[in-house]
């Protein structure tokens, strides 16, 4: 019997994580990617106007992202990231010029020094209502979305992580996030910054690993249709080729929600998406500027200081889609100059509007996220939009890829047991990333 093949469609972080996790199982793996490069929504490119490589968007991780860190370890890219040694966050409000820092309390309990916020007892009890809530409703139905603790800590963090106005967002996703981070204490909230490019840190090392292990990487190959036969995928149809699948072959669709919904009949998937806007300025920050500053009372929400570039992220930014890029660049630059203590003319800039950056993390859209296994026996799905219980983040994408890899191993093992002629004795044990 020939070796089974796992076809992974899509070389974003979810598809790459699945391939990396499966690469040691001994099956043949082929990754088909529609674009000329890997990385999907998490990639770098050379920007002619700025004269430097930039990311499609600033990506922040935290030390609680255990699957993302396992992926980074598996691809040998730990040295490509900057790990903060403690979890303090610098904030500034541009309306009042007030500055504050949120930092961990040094002690055994996950308590936080909230500085000038001085939350009232009622605000703590609101957060507890969220933590102990069970169902999934808009956050505003569970807790009061107001007051210093909410405005100056909870809202900025949730807005960044959920890419959705927190008051309207899924209480389940908000709860899961807070439980994994703030509530677990300082060691789980340390920021991790990708300073030297998303592709260099999260994508290229994975491609090199996969190439070394003879995983076939095919770029510029858009899957156009799944050919179905009874309850399985019988063939994959690309523009210039149709690949017939053997009975043991598997398919992992690691494509965006809308593509997967169009390819797989009856697939439930989020149908509403939110924009993220990034503004990059080719200017070196002063040494005094914090690497990451959270901003309230302005269009700017997070300011990232890289060695030769200042970069701003604005989440849930659908309202900015129609804005003239030059106007927006000027408006955000005035804010950046104020925060960074810079004077002078607008430096070379680039505005990137990622219209469908992530699914809208509302309860309605959260309910539409499908499990890894599908009604088709040899089809699995992965992607940050699948039912991971996490928001659409690198951690969510990697988790979905690992979950697809785990299910693929189970299906292959079950097929091996059911196939008497298969005597190769291969095992499909879970690759240990710990």
Q: List interacting residues with ligand FAD (CB under 6 A).
A: 9-15, 32-35, 40-42, 56-57, 59-61, 222-223, 254-256, 259, 276, 278, 354, 357-358, 383-384, 392-397
Shortest Cβ 151–ligand FAD spacing (Å): 21
Shortest Cβ 122–ligand FAD spacing (Å): 31
Which residues are CB-contacts of 124 (< 8 A; sequence separation ≥ 6)?
A: 149
Q: Which is nearer to ligand FAD, 9 or 143 (CB)?
A: 9
Q: Which is nearer to ligand FAD, 114 or 404 (CB)?
A: 404
Q: Which is nearer to ligand FAD, 42 or 336 (CB)?
A: 42
Q: For the purposes of burial, counting CB atoms within 10 Å of the CB of 9, is it exposed (0-12), middle (13-18) or buried (19 or more)? A: buried
- Comparing CA positions, the residue from 396, 350, 343 lying closest to residue 369 is 396
Shortest Cβ 51–ligand FAD spacing (Å): 21
Shortest Cβ 39–ligand FAD spacing (Å): 6
Q: Which is nearer to ligand FAD, 270 or 383 (CB)?
A: 383
Distance CA 255, CA 263 (A): 10
Q: Which is nearer to ligand FAD, 199 or 416 (CB)?
A: 199
Instruction: Read off φ and ψ for residue 7, nearest 5 degrees.
Output: -95, 120
Question: Which segments of 27-81 are extended strands (E)?
Answer: 28-32, 44-47, 52-55, 60-62
Maximum Cα interatomic distance, the chain, rounded to a whole number of Å: 75
Other C-beta atoms closer than 10 Å to the C-beta of 286 total 9
Instruction: Read off φ and ψ for residue 139, nearest 5 degrees.
Output: -50, -40
Q: Which is nearer to ligand FAD, 142 or 295 (CB)?
A: 295
Q: Which is nearer to ligand FAD, 400 or 416 (CB)?
A: 400
Question: Which segments of 148-300 are extended strands (E)?
Answer: 191-193, 216-218, 223-229, 232-238, 242-244, 250-253, 273-281, 292-296
Q: Are 293 and 91 in contact (CB under 8 A)?
A: yes
Shortest Cβ 419–ligand FAD spacing (Å): 29
Shortest Cβ 103–ligand FAD spacing (Å): 21
Shortest Cβ 93–ligand FAD spacing (Å): 21
- Comparing CA positions, the residue from 90, 91, 71, 89 lying closest to residue 81 is 71
Distance CA 35, CA 15 (A): 13
Q: Is the dihedral of CA 125, 127, 131, 137 positive or negative?
A: positive
Shortest Cβ 422–ligand FAD spacing (Å): 30
Q: Which is nearer to ligand FAD, 40 or 197 (CB)?
A: 40
Alpha helices, DSSP H, located in 213-304: 257-263
Tokens 């088709």, residue located: 376
- Comparing CA positions, the residue from 41, 37, 14 lying closest to residue 399 is 14
Shortest Cβ 198–ligand FAD spacing (Å): 8
């Amino acid at each position: 019997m020939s070796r089974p093949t796992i076809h992974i469609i899509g070389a974003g972080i979810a598809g790459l994580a699945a391939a990396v996790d499966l690469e040691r199982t001994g099956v043949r793996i082929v990754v088909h990617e529609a674009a000329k490069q890997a990385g999907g929504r998490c990639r770098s490119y050379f920007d002619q106007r700025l004269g430097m490589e930039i990311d499609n968007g600033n990506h922040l991780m935290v030390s609680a992202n255990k699957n993302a860190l396992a992926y980074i370890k598996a691809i040998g890219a730990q040295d490509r990231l900057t790990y903060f040694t403690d979890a303090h966050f610098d904030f500034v409000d541009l309306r009042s010029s007030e500055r504050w820092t949120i930092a961990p309390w040094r002690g055994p309990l996950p308590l936080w020094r909230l500085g000038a916020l001085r939350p009232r007892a009622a605000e703590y009890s609101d957060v507890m209502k969220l933590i102990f809530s069970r169902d999934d409703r808009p956050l505003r139905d569970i807790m009061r979305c107001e007051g210093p603790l909410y405005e100056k800590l909870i809202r900025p963090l949730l807005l960044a992580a959920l890419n959705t106005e927190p008051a309207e967002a899924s209480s389940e996703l908000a709860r899961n996030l807070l439980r994994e981070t703030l509530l677990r204490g300082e060691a789980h909230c340390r920021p991790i910054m990708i300073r030297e490019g998303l592709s260099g840190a999260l994508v290229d090392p994975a491609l090199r690993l996969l190439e070394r292990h003879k995983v076939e990487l095919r770029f510029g190959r858009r899957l156009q249709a799944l050919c179905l036969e009874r309850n399985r995928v019988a063939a994959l149809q690309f523009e210039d080729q149709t690949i017939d699948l053997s009975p043991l072959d598997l398919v992992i669709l690691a494509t965006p929600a809308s593509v997967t919904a169009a390819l797989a009949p009856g697939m439930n998937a989020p149908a509403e998406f939110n924009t993220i806007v990034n503004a990059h300025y080719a200017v070196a920050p002063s040494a005094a500027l914090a690497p990451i500053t959270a901003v309230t009372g302005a269009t700017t929400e997070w300011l990232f200081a890289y060695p030769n570039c200042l970069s701003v992220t604005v989440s849930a930014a659908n309202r900015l889609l129609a804005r003239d890029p030059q106007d927006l660049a000027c408006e955000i630059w005035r804010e950046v100059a104020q925060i960074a203590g810079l004077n002078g003319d607008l430096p070379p800039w680039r505005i990137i509007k990622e219209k469908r950056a992530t699914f809208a993390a509302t309860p309605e859209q959260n309910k539409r996220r499908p499990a890894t296994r599908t009604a088709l026996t040899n089809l699995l799905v992965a992607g940050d939009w699948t039912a991971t219980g996490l928001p659409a983040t690198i951690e969510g994408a990697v988790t979905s890829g690992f979950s697809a890899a785990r299910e693929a191993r189970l299906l292959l093992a079950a097929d091996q047991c059911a196939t008497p002629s298969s005597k190769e004795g291969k095992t499909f044990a879970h690759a240990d990333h710990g």
